[in-house]
Structure 1
Amino acid sequence: MKTLRLLLFLPGLGALAWGAVLFAEYAFPLRPDVFGTLGWLAAGPLVHDLLIAPLVGAAGFALSRFLPERWKTPVKTGAALTGVLTLLAFPLLWRPFGGATNPGLHDADTLTGLLLTLAVVWLGVVAAALLRRKARY
């Protein structure tokens, strides 16, 4: 087991070192935008650990305590898909043309697409919960 961990650790360490080299090429000589980048690099994990993770944990706990058995798995799956889809759509919702333009991506209505996709996900959740049969052992 230790050998497997070492074999997984070494490529990760190499990727971390390569990322540090690329960031050093970007950051030096120091410019004002480098400090903004450092702010993003520090704020991302802090926002996740102090805000998002506790909220997701509390929501998961509440779902597992108060939902009937047949609704637990579909609703948890729908909640996870909602989080992932929202996370993917967030950059285009927040700043529609913040990055390089990608034909077919920036000319779409991101909010409408997200809402329609979430509607399909939650219709699937309702269908899965209503059609779910109790497992026999």
Structure 2
Amino acid sequence: MKSARVLLALPGLAALVWGVVLFADYALPLRPDVFGTIGWLVGGPILNDAVIAPLTAILGLTLARVLPQPWKTPVVTGTVLTGVLLILAFPLLWRPYGTAPMPGLHDGNPALGLTLTLAAVWLAVVLTALRHRLTPHRKRPTRPQTRRT
């Protein structure tokens, strides 16, 4: 078990070292734009861990306590997916061309894309929750057979 953990950790550590090498190649010698990059690299995880993740967790727990049983799991899942989608869309919503240019990425409207994706997520949430009303819960007439002898 210990050797498996080491074998799984080695590629992650190698990727971390490669990221540090690439960042050092970009950042050294120091220029004014490097400080903005450091702000994004440090500020992003702090913003996520201090604001977005706790708000998503509090909202999910509150909804799980308030909502009836068929709505709990779909609504909490939709809430978490909404938080993740907002994190992913933030750079494009913050400023135009907020990420590295990729073919086709900047051809569309990121706000419209986020709105349509969130609409699809919440439509799936509603349909999943309503599925319980449309299909009755079936109870087993007898005990299930097991392999015990």
- How does the TM-score come out when normalised to structure 2? 0.80
Aligned residues: 137
Measured after TM superposition, the shift of residue 135 of structure 1 is: 6.9
Q: Which residue number in structure 1 is paired with residue 145 of structure 2? A: none
Pair 1:5-2:5 in alignment: yes
Deviations 1:19-65 (A, max 9, x none): 11111111111111112212222111211221112111211211221
Measured after TM superposition, the shift of residue 103 of structure 1 is: 4.5
Q: Which residue number in structure 2 is paired with residue 86 of structure 1? A: 86
Q: Which residue number in structure 1 is paired with residue 57 of structure 2? A: 57
Q: Which moved more, 1:83-92 or 1:37-46?
A: 83-92
After the TM superposition, list the runs of 4 or more consecutive aligned residues in structure 1 that deviate by more than 3 angstroms: 98-104, 133-137
Going from structure 1 to structure 2, the CA distance change for 1:14 and 1:135 (only over 3 Å counts) comes to farther
Q: Which moved more, 1:116-125 or 1:61-70?
A: 116-125
- If you compute each CA radius of gyration, which structure gives the higher value, 1 or 2? 2
Q: Which moved more, 1:96-105 or 1:44-53?
A: 96-105
CA distance in 1, matches of 2:138, 2:81: 24
Going from structure 1 to structure 2, the CA distance change for 1:101 and 1:16 (only over 3 Å counts) comes to closer
SS of aligned partner of 1:30: coil
Measured after TM superposition, the shift of residue 87 of structure 1 is: 2.5
Amino acid at match of 2:62: A
- How does the TM-score come out when normalised to structure 1? 0.86
Going from structure 1 to structure 2, the CA distance change for 1:14 and 1:100 (only over 3 Å counts) comes to closer
User: RMSD of the alignment, in Å?
Assistant: 2.0
Measured after TM superposition, the shift of residue 4 of structure 1 is: 1.4
Measured after TM superposition, the shift of residue 109 of structure 1 is: 2.2
CA distance in 2, matches of 1:61, 1:55: 10
Pair 1:131-2:148 in alignment: no
Q: Which residue number in structure 2 is paired with residue 14 of structure 1? A: 14
Query: RCO greater where, 1 or 2, for CA within 8 Å and sep 6 or more?
Result: 1
CA distance in 1, matches of 2:138, 2:4: 37
Q: Which residue number in structure 2 is paired with residue 77 of structure 1? A: 77
Q: Which residue number in structure 2 is paired with residue 35 of structure 1? A: 35
